[in-house]
Every structure is written in structure tokens, then in C-alpha cells.
Structure 1
Amino acid sequence: MRYYLRKLAFYLVALWAAVTLNFFIPRMMPGDPVDILMAKLQQRGSGVDPSARRAYELLLGTDSDEPLFRQYLSYLGNLVRGDFGISVSDFPTPVSTVIATSLPWTVALVGIATVLAVLFGITLGVFVGWRRGTWLDSLVPATTVLSAVPYFWLALILVAVLGSALGWFPLLGGYDVVLTPGWNADFLGSALYHGVLPALTIVVSSVGGWLLGTRNMMVSAMAEDYVLTARAKGLREGRVMIWYAARNAVLPSVAGFAISLGFVVAGSIVTEQVFAYPGIGSKLLQAVQNNDYALMQAIFLVITVAVLAANLAVDLLYGIIDPRTRTGG
């Protein structure tokens, strides 16, 4: 029990530290979101009264007359209430609405693609490691080369070949613009069709790392005494491979999967820009370009909570799978 309480306390402190950094770092960046908003309103032909600046500062939570510590306390209070403020990039849309409309796209695309890459990589790594020295080992250099290829370059190649030259898949967007978003077969089919190329980019560029890591762990596990003992008992090869070698070889991949969740949104920024995909990565880039403090903070908070929750779940799961991790608890 002490092990689990200690882990929970550690992640709560990490969450507080991340939330604090999330508040201060955007405010250290040059530029003022209020100036950007007023300039955008003027470009649209709207006459902006200079006296309205104070109202916009209060609305966006960047009151220059309020001490920074008071702003920090107000920020924490708003987080508890689920109030993330107003987005400058999509003014006057609330940040919570912007995230609610864009996050499902990224979770569906990058999340599912990451899970597929992990499953394919681990499965191939188990078989390649078990059959080391055979022709299956020739797969490893090819997949590691693909892992070294930059995201955007691979995405552009897939767009040029599968999208432009062959015309198998659409080049841009997340769905057919003539359709109305909703839970219906036409829209879901269109979203799935438009997501093939971005998902393929993520899977192809990620699967090699998982394959190589699992393959090396399998080779190491096969030299362990428990595998040699299982073989000496005359157990079937399939059982030895799965229940003895693979069961221990994939443990590091479990932790690696949680860490990789931190790169889901980071990697999606490039992918979504190439494919003009309406995910949260595009919103993050748009927020940085417009000094949209509120939207940046909310997106970073979503990333932080997701990564910390995944790592906490893995740590707790490790305590169940491998009791040695609880030693000293």
C-alpha cells in the first residue's frame, strides 16, 4: 500500500509543478495577446475603442495591473472550475469548446495509430527475436531506416505517391466538407478514409523502434535460465516463446508506451500540418503563432494530464505484474 501511495503523491506533485510551469512559461514569451486580438479586429474592419483594451485584458486573463501571483491564484481557481478562458485564435470561442472539437480528431488519429504501431512492432519484435539469425532479421534494418526518416518527409512522400500519383486517398482534410459532422455512417466512413494516410505515416515511422527494442529484449530473455529450464522440460516452443520469453521481454515496452503518449500531440503537429488535419496539434501551432495563452495552457495541460495518468497507470500495473518493483515499499 505504501508503494501505491508514494507513487500517487509523486504524480500529484509532478502535476502541480507542470501546472505552475504551464502558467509562467507562456507569460515569458514576447508579445501581448490583447494587442494581437485588437489588431485582428481592426483588420476585419471593426472599429476598436482603445478603452476596450481593459475589458479584453480581463476577458483573456492577462490583466497587466494585477500582480502575477494573483493571476496565478486566479488561474488555479479557474482550472478547478474547468474554466480555461477565451481563445484569441478563435475569438470569442471558449478554449474548452476549441479543445472539445479538436481533441477527438487527434485521439482518434494519432492515438489509434500509436497503438497499432506498438502492437505491430512488439508482435514482429517477438517473432524476429525468437527467430534471430533467420531471414526475419533482415526486417530490422529496413524498419529502423524508416524510423529515422523525418515525419514531414515521409508524409509528403505518401501524399505524392498514394494521394497525388495514384489517387487512392484524399490529400487534405479530415472529412469530406460536403458532409455534416455527426455520428452517421457517411461521416464516419469519410473521416476514416481521410485518416488513412496520416495514420499510415505515424505507423510506418514508429513501428521500427518498437520492433528493434522488443527484438533485443527477446534475444536477452532467451538466454535467461527460466527460458532454458522451460525448454529442458520439453514445453512447446509456442508456450515458451509467449509465456516465458515474450512475457518478460515486453515489460520495458509497457513503460515505453506510456512515455510515447507524450509524443502523440507533439508528433501530430507536423502530421496535421501536412495533411491539414483538424486536430489539436494544428490548434497548438495556431495558438503559439497568435500568443494565445489560454489555448496553449489548456493544450499543454491536456498533454501533461494524459502523460502523467498513463505513467501512473503503468507504475501501478508494474507493481502488480512484477512484485520486485514494490521492494522497500
Structure 2
Amino acid sequence: MNYFLRKMGFYVVALWAALTLNFAIPRLLPGNPVDILLAKLQQRGGTVTPETREAYALLLGGDDSQPLWNQYVDYLNNLLHGDLGVSVSYYPAQVTDVIAQSLPWTVVLVGIATVMAAVLGVTLGAFVGWKPGTWLDSLIPATTLLAAVPYFWLALILAYFLARVLGWFPLQGGYDVVLDPGWNAEFIASAIHYGALPALTIVLASVGGWLLGMRNMMVSTLSEDYVLTAEAKGLSPRKVLRSYASRNAVLPSVAGFAISLGFVVSGSVITEQVFSYPGIGGRLLGAVTNNDYALMQGLFLVITLAVLGANLVVDMLYGLIDPRTRARS
């Protein structure tokens, strides 16, 4: 119980620190979202007065003329009420609405691709490490080569050959624009068709790391005393592989999977840009380009919460899977 309480306390402090940094960093950056909106208003022939500036400042989440402590308290209060401000890039849309529209696309695409890459890599790594030196080892250079290739270059190559030359997949977009988004078979089939090529890019680029890591852990685990004892007892190779070797070798991959799963929310910015996919990655790049601090702040907050949440869940599960972790803590 003490182990779990200590973990919960650590993540509470980490959450507070993340929220504080999320508040401070945009205010340390050059520029001001209020000035950006006022500049756009002037370009359209509008008149800017002190009252106009005050109204825009309040609209975007508070008056920056207030003391920093008051702004911090207002920021925390707005978070408790789910108010992340107004997006400059998609004005007058709320940041929560912009994130809500983009988040499901990234979670489905990158989430499924990450799970597929992890499961495929860990499974292949277990078999390759179980019999090192066989023909299966020839898979490792090919997969690690794909992992070393620049992400955007791999995406462009796959887009050119599989989409433009062979025509197997659509080149850009998240679904057929003639369809109305909704939970119907036609739209879901279109979304799967459009998302298959970006997902394939993510799987090919990341499966090599999972395979190599699991393979090396399996080779190391095979020399442990408990594996040698299991073999000496006459247990079947399948039993030794499943219940002794792979069960312990997979533990480091579980921790790595937590980090990868947390970063699913951040999406794959490059992949989404190459394929013009309507996910969080494109929104984040647009927010940086347009100095949309409210949207950047909201996206960073969602990413931080996802990473902390995923690591908290895996830390709790890790303590249940491996009792030695609780004993050392």
C-alpha cells in the first residue's frame, strides 16, 4: 500500500509542476495573442481602442495587466471549469472544441499503430531472442534500418509508391470529403481506408525498436538461473518461453510502452503533415505558426496529462506484475 501511495503522491506533484510550467512557458515567449488579434482587426479596417484591447484580453482568458499571481490563480480556476481559452487560429472557437475535434483522429490512428507496432515487435523479438543466430535474426537489420530512416522521408516514399504510383491508398486527408462525418459504416470504412497508409508508416518506423529491445532482453534472460532451472526440470520449450523467459524479458518493454502510449495524444506531427491528416499534430504545428498560445497551452496540457496518466497506470500495474518493484521502493 505504501508503494502505491508514494506513487500517487509523486504524480500529484508532477501534475502540479506540469500545470505551472504550462502556465509559465507561453508567458515567457515573445509576442502576445491579444496583439495578434488586434493586428488582424486593423488589417480588416477595424478601429483599435483601449476598450477593444481589454475586451480581447478578457476573451482570451484574462487581463495580462494583472499581477502574475492573480493570473496564475485565474488560470487554475479556469482549468477546474474546463475553460482553456479562445483559439486565435480558429477564432472564435474555444480551445476545448478544437482539441475535441482533432483528438479522436490522432488517438485512433497513432494509438492503434503504436499498439500494433509494440505487439508485433515484442512478439517477433521474443522468438528471435529465443533462437539467436537463426534466419529470424536477419529481420533485425531490415527493421532497424527502417527505424533509422528519417520519418518524413519514409512517409514520402510510401505515399509516392503506394498512393500515387499503385493507387492502393488515398494520398491525403482523413476521409472522403463528400461524406458527412458520423458513426455509419460508409464513413468508418472511408476513415480506415484513408488512415491505413499513415498507420503503416508509423508501424514500419517503430517496430524495429521494439523488436531489437525485446530480442536483447530475451538473450540476456536465457542465461538467468530460473530459466536454466526450468529447462533442467524438463519443461517444454513452449512453457519455458511463455512462462519464464518472455514473461520477465517483457518487463522493460512494458515501461517503454507506457511512454509511447502517453505520447499517442501528441500524435505524429510529421506523418499528419505529409498526409494532411486532421489530427492533433497538424493543430499543434498551426498553433506554433500562428502564435496561438491558448491552443498551444491546451495541447501541451492534454499531452502532459496523457503521459502522466499512462505512466501512472503502468507504474501501478508494474507493482502488481513484479513484486520486486514494491520491495525495492
| Amino acid in structure 2 at the alignment position of 1:211 | L
| Counterpart in the other structure of 1:177 | 177
| Counterpart in the other structure of 2:57 | 57
Residues 82-93 of structure 1 correspond to what in structure 2 (within 5 A)? 82-93=82-93
Q: Distance in 1 between matches of 2:287 and 2:117?
A: 29
| Counterpart in the other structure of 2:111 | 111
| Counterpart in the other structure of 2:5 | 5
| Counterpart in the other structure of 1:255 | 255
Q: Which moved more, 1:55-64 or 1:109-118?
A: 55-64
| Amino acid in structure 2 at the alignment position of 1:183 | W
The answer (yes or no) to whether the contact 1:284–1:299 under 8 Å persists in 2 is: yes
The answer to whether residue 230 in structure 2 is matched with residue 204 in structure 1 is: no
Secondary structure of the residue aligned to 1:86 is coil
TM-score (norm 2): 0.97
| Counterpart in the other structure of 2:69 | 69
Residues 1-329 of structure 1 correspond to what in structure 2 (within 5 A)? 1-43=1-43, 45=44, 47-50=46-49, 51-61=51-61, 63-266=63-266, 268-327=268-327
| Amino acid in structure 1 at the alignment position of 2:310 | A
Q: Distance in 2 between matches of 1:6 and 1:265?
A: 26
The count of aligned residue pairs is: 328
Secondary structure of the residue aligned to 2:169 is coil
Secondary structure of the residue aligned to 2:268 is helix
Q: Distance in 1 between matches of 2:326 and 2:218?
A: 24
Q: Distance in 2 between matches of 1:259 and 1:160?
A: 31
Query: 5+ unaligned residues in a row in structure 1: which ranges?
Result: none
The answer (yes or no) to whether the contact 1:33–1:290 under 8 Å persists in 2 is: no
| 1:35 to partner: Cα distance | 1.9
The answer (yes or no) to whether the contact 2:263–2:307 under 8 Å persists in 1 is: no
| 1:47 to partner: Cα distance | 2.3
| Amino acid in structure 1 at the alignment position of 2:145 | V
Q: Distance in 1 between matches of 2:290 and 2:194?
A: 28
Q: Distance in 2 between matches of 1:265 and 1:100?
A: 12
**Alpha-carbon RMSD:** 1.3
Change (3 A) 1:141 1:16: same
Runs of 4+ in 1 over 4 A off after TM superposition: none
TM-score (norm 1): 0.97
Secondary structure of the residue aligned to 2:264 is helix
